[in-house]
Amino acid sequence: MSEIRAITAEEFESVVNDDGITLIKFYTQGCPACARFAPTYEKLADEYEGRAVFVQMDARQNLDTAKQLGIRGVPTVVAFRAGSEAQRVTGAKTLAEMREWLTPVLP
């Protein structure tokens, strides 16, 4: 199983400016929807290992970054391609919904 690294605001730029695809899950501790979505995000990370980098960021602990990106609800997954936002999705989606959402992002 892939380990999903938690990143901080200080790491944000270097992580998203990678040449490949980076997905960042924004969550908060104690969020029921985030807890339900966590296993789905882990499964995606396993399925797409080598095709994208999967990380996560606590929106409360990194409030400035979350505000800068317009994160209004959690969980929210933002996909970046070479530093630019490609798309985002909010809510505890199913594995099938997330696979469909990733189709236009991943080569």
Which residues are tagged catalytic?
31, 34
Residue showing tokens 């798309």: 87
Q: How many Cα atoms occupy the beta-carbon half-sphere of 28 within 13 Å?
A: 14
- Report whether the peptide linkage leading into residue 75 is cis, meaning its omega lies within 30 degrees of zero: yes
Backbone angles phi, psi at 79, to 5 degrees: -100, 130
Query: Could you tell me the two tokens for 65?
Result: 């970054």
Give the Cβ contact number of residue 28 at 10 Å.
14
Rounded to whole angstroms, how far apart are CA atoms 83 and 92?
25
